[in-house]
């Protein structure tokens, strides 16, 4: 672990604790959901609560004594999160490991805790359900009760056991100083690619932290795509989609009538619409519900005709090609062009030559390997 930290600059332990040193309620979990829990713990402690989180970095082999050392001595209740369901088992894998570690610590006269902490276990993220800070807040509130639910489920309505955790979906820990943008586009229209380039440029050329989540169908072309982008001055631990956006862009005007895209927009957010109507006529084309949302949230509304802009750019490129230098209109170039036009195909097909015998043998003889480079190049004439 120490050697790894020297190489990459990040220090990891078998179990990393985050939160108040005197926390009474502690969550134990691993994987990407722990980043959402980290964000929630920091937010709750800033409001005066005393909660904590133990991130499991190494699951197998499980070092139970190290887990006990990572827990604060003031711990009263522990909630263990597993992203799996084990029907017929007394509990999920991580839950059973935590219970065993605490039981062995108490059985062999361990004195870490004045009173052995109570342990409850639960499941999250089943059926690819989003795992948000609101769900964690609901679990922390449940841990304060005299008899908290054990073997609970959060994020889904478990109508069989009745052990679902209630939570307030409006609770959020989003960084209000960061840019949180949502882009609605059509598959293969360039929206996803442009957004990936945007976060790459911002992350490499500025000091901001960046994040991007992209939601689209398995057959991307022709279907709706939704891009969730975040960037700001603070590290981003939000491993979930944008819930409160201060920028919303709709790249296809027909989506306005089909999807609810301003629900996540915060008051005074910016809304950008790609429309082909004149700017003075766009407002009348919007549904009444969208108009009311823009007015109620006092949003800044902008309109752009990207299709016209693209057409102008294409015309400019065509004009540039037509103004070629005189060297391209030389007699040799004219003869090559004339010969190509006589061909049945739009362009004369190049003849493929075999590589020399001195080149490396390959299953494709028309490919030659350059000894000065690790790349493969085509040889045609």
pLDDT tens track for 57-98:
999 999 999 999 999 999 999 999 999 999 899 999 999 999
CA distance 106 to 94: 19
Given this model, what pLDDT does residue 319 score?
55
Q: Does 227 have pLDDT greater than 90?
A: yes
Task: Assess whether 147 and 186 both reside in one domain.
Answer: no
* Bigger pLDDT: 17 vs 356: 17
CA distance 125 to 129: 5
Start-to-end CA distance of the chain, whole Å, equals 55
pLDDT in tens, 165-181: 999 999 999 999 999 99
Given this model, what pLDDT does residue 1 score?
83
Cβ neighbours of residue 70 closer than 8 Å, sequence gap 6 or more: 13, 15, 16, 17, 54
How far are the Cα atoms of 37, 145, 183, 246 from residue 177, in angstroms, in the given order? 20, 34, 19, 10
Given this model, what pLDDT does residue 325 score?
47
pLDDT in tens, 183-213: 999 999 999 999 999 999 999 999 999 999 9
Closest CA to 211 of 195, 191, 230: 230
In a domain, 358, yes or no: no
Given this model, what pLDDT does residue 324 score?
47
Task: Assess whether 325 and 293 both reside in one domain.
Answer: no
Task: Assess whether 55 and 36 both reside in one domain.
Answer: yes
Task: Assess whether 316 and 260 both reside in one domain.
Answer: no
Angle between the 133-142 and 33-46 helix axes, to the nearest 10 degrees? Answer: 60
Boundary residue ending a domain (288, 307, 326): 307
Given this model, what pLDDT does residue 372 score?
40
Task: Assess whether 52 and 99 both reside in one domain.
Answer: yes
* CATH code, 67: 3.40.50.920
Task: Assess whether 313 and 290 both reside in one domain.
Answer: no
In a domain, 162, yes or no: no
How many C-beta atoms lie closer than 10 Å to residue 333's C-beta? 12
Task: Assess whether 323 and 278 both reside in one domain.
Answer: no
In a domain, 169, yes or no: no
In a domain, 128, yes or no: yes
Range of the domain at 318: 309-342
DSSP of 130-148, one letter per residue? ---HHHHHHHHHHTTSSS-
pLDDT, average across residues 286-314: 91
Boundary residue ending a domain (264, 282, 307): 307
Task: Assess whether 143 and 282 both reside in one domain.
Answer: no
Number of domains into which the chain is organized: 3
Q: Does 344 have pLDDT greater than 60?
A: no
Task: Name the least confident of 15-19, 260-264, 278-282, 356-360.
Answer: 356-360
Give percent of the chain above pLDDT 70: 82
Closest CA to 39 of 102, 122, 131: 131
pLDDT interval class at 315 (50, 70, 90)? low
* Bigger pLDDT: 93 vs 1: 93
pLDDT interval class at 365 (50, 70, 90)? very low
DSSP label at residue 55: E
CA distance 338 to 139: 76
Task: Assess whether 104 and 190 both reside in one domain.
Answer: no
Task: Assess whether 120 and 139 both reside in one domain.
Answer: yes
Task: Assess whether 318 and 297 both reside in one domain.
Answer: no
Task: Assess whether 11 and 141 both reside in one domain.
Answer: yes
Parallel, antiparallel or unpaired: strands 367-369 and 118-124: unpaired
In a domain, 42, yes or no: yes
């Amino acid at each position: 672990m120490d050697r790894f930290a020297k190489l990459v600059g990040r220090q990891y332990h078998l179990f990393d604790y985050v939160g108040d040193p005197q926390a009474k309620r502690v969550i134990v979990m691993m994987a990407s959901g722990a980043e959402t829990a980290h964000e929630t713990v920091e937010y709750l402690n800033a409001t005066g609560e005393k909660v904590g989180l133990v991130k499991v970095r190494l699951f197998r082999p499980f070092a139970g004594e190290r887990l006990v050392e990572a827990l604060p001595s003031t711990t009263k209740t522990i909630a263990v999160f597993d992203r799996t369901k084990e029907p017929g088992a007394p509990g999920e894998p991580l839950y059973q490991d935590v219970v065993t570690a605490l039981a062995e610590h108490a059985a062999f006269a361990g004195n870490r805790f004045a009173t052995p902490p109570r342990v409850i276990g639960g499941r999250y993220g089943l059926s690819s359900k989003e795992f948000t800070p609101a769900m964690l807040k609901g679990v922390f509130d449940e841990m304060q009760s005299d008899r908290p639910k054990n073997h609970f489920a959060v994020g889904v309505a478990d109508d069989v056991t009745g052990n679902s955790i209630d939570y307030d979906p409006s609770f959020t820990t989003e960084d209000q100083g960061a840019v949180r943008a949502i882009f609605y586009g059509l598959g293969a229209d360039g929206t996803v690619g442009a957004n990936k380039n945007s976060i790459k440029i911002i992350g490499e050329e500025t000091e901001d932290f960046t994040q991007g989540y992209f939601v689209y169908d398995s057959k991307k072309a022709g279907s709706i795509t939704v891009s969730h982008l975040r960037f700001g001055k603070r590290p981003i631990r939000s491993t979930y989609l944008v819930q409160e956006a201060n920028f919303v862009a709709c790249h296809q005007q027909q989506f306005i009538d089909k999807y609810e895209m301003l629900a996540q927009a915060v008051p005074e957010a910016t809304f950008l619409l790609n429309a082909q109507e004149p700017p003075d006529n766009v407002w009348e084309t919007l549904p009444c519900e969208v108009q009311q949302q823009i007015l109620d949230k006092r949003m800044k509304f902008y309109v752009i005709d990207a299709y016209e802009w693209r057409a102008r750019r294409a015309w400019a490129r065509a004009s540039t090609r037509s103004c070629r230098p005189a060297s391209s209109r030389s007699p040799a170039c004219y003869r090559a062009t004339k010969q190509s036009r006589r061909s049945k195909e739009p362009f004369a097909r190049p003849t493929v030559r075999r590589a020399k015998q001195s080149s490396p043998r390959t299953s494709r003889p028309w490919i030659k390997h350059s000894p000065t480079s690790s790349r493969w190049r085509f040889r045609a004439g």
